[in-house]
């Protein structure tokens, strides 16, 4: 049956585009190690990004999810959104909410953005701002209120740590109060800054499972419209699942390189030199690469290899055997 495997698709079903690695906070669990001074020196400029947006439309990719860093902090992000939307591409925005004032909320509503995910890592300002140093809980909540007032009903995204797990149910209730369409959570990814801080911030498997059970029971008894979405896999399970069944997607990092997955360091294509058709073929081929398969097998035995996640190796590079 067509559509059951990644090779069945002429083009990706979606493209995840990390516009920048810069943002206004230094979240302790950030899988990308983003921050105010963490923009990559070789990020795509405005002209390159707009040219890529045009290619995405022409190649027939139906859905683009923007992340970062903070995508709304990129000055030309609105031109990208408008070009893609005009070309019939559905949009998702992953944001900390810091750039969503009334004017931005109006623009997102006019664009008919398919999904906005806003990161909130606590039910209180003290907890949220401890987990996300440099962010403002009040500004984030206000951004969600602006979006819901305009019919966008964002999803609230909560990353569990030892510091905030006790407020997970409270954060769910906050999502309900704010009119969010969904509360999204799952195991913290052990890559990037989260990996560096792991011993200090990671909750135990037992505490996470107990927290999930309590949250599910609370949500079931609440009888509310806000959906509960809990990602089922930790990072090692995810990369093994993706190896067995790759997603029909491309992940584009800030300098235009295409990665297999944010948890893996392999970048089989570069959209500064390669067409999207070439990148799509290289992506599918790379999942069958002996280098990639060997690296994933070794990650289960030695999770320290995940420290390489934010690198961009070409398949066949000697680093793959380190």
Instruction: Give the CATH number for residue 145.
Output: 3.20.20.70
Looking at every residue in the chain, the average pLDDT score rounds to 95
- 263 has a pLDDT exceeding 70: yes
Are the beta carbons of 78 and 107 closer than 8 angstroms?
A: yes
Confidence bin at 2 (pLDDT 50/70/90)? low
User: Over 60: is that where the pLDDT of 7 sits?
Assistant: yes
Which residues have CB under 8 Å from 267's CB, separation 6+? 253, 257, 258, 259, 260, 312, 313, 314
- The predicted-structure confidence for 202-239, as pLDDT tens digits, reads as follows 999 999 999 999 999 999 999 999 999 999 999 999 99
> Residue 74 is inside which H or E element, if any?
none
Say how far apart CA 12 and CA 6 lie, in whole Å.
Answer: 8
Q: What does the block give as tokens for 60?
A: 């027939």
- More confident site: 316 or 154: 154
Inform me whether the pLDDT recorded for 320 exceeds 50.
no
The whole-number pLDDT of residue 307 equals: 87
Instruction: Measure the CA angle with vertex 308, ends 302 and 309; round to 5°.
Output: 100
Mean pLDDT, range 88-102, rounded to an integer: 98
In a domain, 284, yes or no: no
Query: Quick count: other Cβ atoms within 10 Å of Cβ 17?
Result: 25
The values of phi and psi at residue 155, to 5°, are -95, 140
Residue range of the domain that includes 128? 7-232
Residue 217 placed within a domain: yes
pLDDT band at 3 (very low <50, low <70, confident <90, very high): low
Distance separating alpha carbons of residues 75 and 104, to the nearest angstrom: 12
CA distance 286 to 296: 12
Two structure tokens written together for 107: 């623009």
CA distance linking residue 187 with residue 185, whole number of Å: 7
Look at residue 246 and tell me if it is in a domain: no
Residues 6+ apart with CB under 8 A from 1: none
Can you give the pTM of this predicted structure?
0.95
Is 78 a member of any domain? Answer: yes
pLDDT score recorded for residue 16: 98
- How much is the average pLDDT of 270-275? 98
Model pLDDT for residues 107-124, shown as the tens digit of each residue: 999 999 999 999 999 999
Cα distance between residue 66 and residue 64, in whole Å:
6
Share of the chain above pLDDT 70, in %: 97
Number of domains in the chain: 1
Peptide bond into 69 cis (omega under 30): yes
- Percent of the chain predicted with pLDDT > 90: 94
User: What mean pLDDT is predicted for residues 7-36?
Assistant: 97
263 domain-assigned: no
Give the dihedral sign, CA 151/101/254/190.
negative
Q: Where are the alpha helices (DSSP H) in the chain?
A: 46-59, 77-86, 102-111, 125-131, 137-149, 168-178, 192-196, 198-201, 205-222, 235-244, 276-286, 290-301
Q: Please give the average per-residue pLDDT across 261-268, as a whole number.
A: 95
185 compared with 314, residue with greater pLDDT: 185
Report pLDDT for 304.
Answer: 86
Residues 6+ apart with CB under 8 A from 115: 65, 91, 92, 93, 154, 155
Query: How far apart (Å, rounded) are the C-alpha atoms in residues 96 and 37?
Result: 17
Is the pLDDT confidence value at 284 over 50?
yes
**Cα–Cα distance measured from residue 9 to residue 1, given in angstroms and rounded to the nearest whole number:** 12
Residue 320 lies in a domain: no
- Would you say residue 1 has pLDDT above 50? no
Give residue 319's pLDDT: 47
Tell me whether residue 308 is in a domain.
Answer: no
The three-state secondary structure class of 66 is strand
Residue 85: how many CB atoms within 10 A of its CB? Answer: 18
Distance CA 181, CA 153 (A): 5
> What is the C-alpha to C-alpha distance for residues 1 and 30, in angstroms, rounded to an integer?
39
Residue 318 inside a domain? The answer is: no
Task: Indicate whether 321 pLDDT > 50.
Answer: no
Q: How far is CA 146 from the centre of its chain?
A: 22
- For 316, the 3-state DSSP assignment is coil
**Residue 318, pLDDT above cutoff 50:** no
User: What confidence tens digit (pLDDT) does each residue in 127-182 have?
Assistant: 999 999 999 999 999 999 999 999 999 999 999 999 999 999 999 999 999 999 99
What is the bridge-based pairing of β-strands 269-270 and 155-158?
unpaired
- pLDDT digit string (tens) for 57-67? 999 999 999 99
């Amino acid at each position: 049956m067509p559509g059951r495997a990644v090779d069945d698709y002429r083009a990706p079903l979606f493209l995840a585009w990390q516009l920048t690695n810069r943002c206004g906070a230094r979240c302790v669990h950030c899988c990308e190690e983003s921050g105010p001074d963490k923009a990559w020196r070789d990020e795509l400029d405005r002209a390159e990004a707009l040219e890529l947006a045009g290619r995405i439309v022409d190649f027939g990719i139906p859905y683009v999810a923007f992340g970062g860093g903070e995508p709304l902090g990129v000055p030309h992000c609105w031109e990208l959104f408008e070009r893609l939307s005009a070309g019939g591409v559905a949009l998702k925005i992953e944001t900390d909410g810091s750039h969503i004032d009334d004017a931005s909320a109006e623009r997102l509503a006019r664009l008919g953005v398919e999904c906005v995910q806003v990161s909130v890592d606590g039910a209180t300002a003290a907890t949220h701002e401890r987990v996300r140093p440099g962010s403002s809980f009040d500004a984030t909540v206000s951004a969600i209120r602006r979006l819901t007032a305009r019919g966008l009903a964002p999803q609230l995204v909560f990353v569990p740590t030892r510091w905030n797990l006790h407020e997970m149910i409270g954060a769910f209730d906050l999502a309900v109060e704010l009119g969010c369409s969904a509360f999204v959570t799952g195991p913290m990814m052990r890559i990037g800054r989260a990996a560096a801080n792991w011993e200090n911030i990671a909750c135990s498997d037992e505490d996470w499972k107990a927290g999930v059970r309590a949250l599910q029971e609370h949500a079931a008894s609440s009888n509310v419209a806000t959906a509960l979405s809990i990602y089922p896999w930790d990072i090692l399970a995810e990369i093994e699942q993706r190896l067995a069944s790759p997603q029909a997607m491309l992940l584009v990092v800030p300098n235009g390189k295409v990665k297999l997955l944010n948890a893996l360091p392999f970048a089989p294509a570069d959209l500064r030199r390669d067409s999207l058709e070439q990148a799509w073929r290289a992506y599918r081929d790379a999942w069958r690469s002996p280098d990639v398969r060997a690296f994933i097998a070794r990650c289960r035995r030695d999770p320290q290899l995940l420290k390489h996640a934010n690198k961009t190796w070409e398949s066949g590079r000697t680093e793959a055997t380190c």
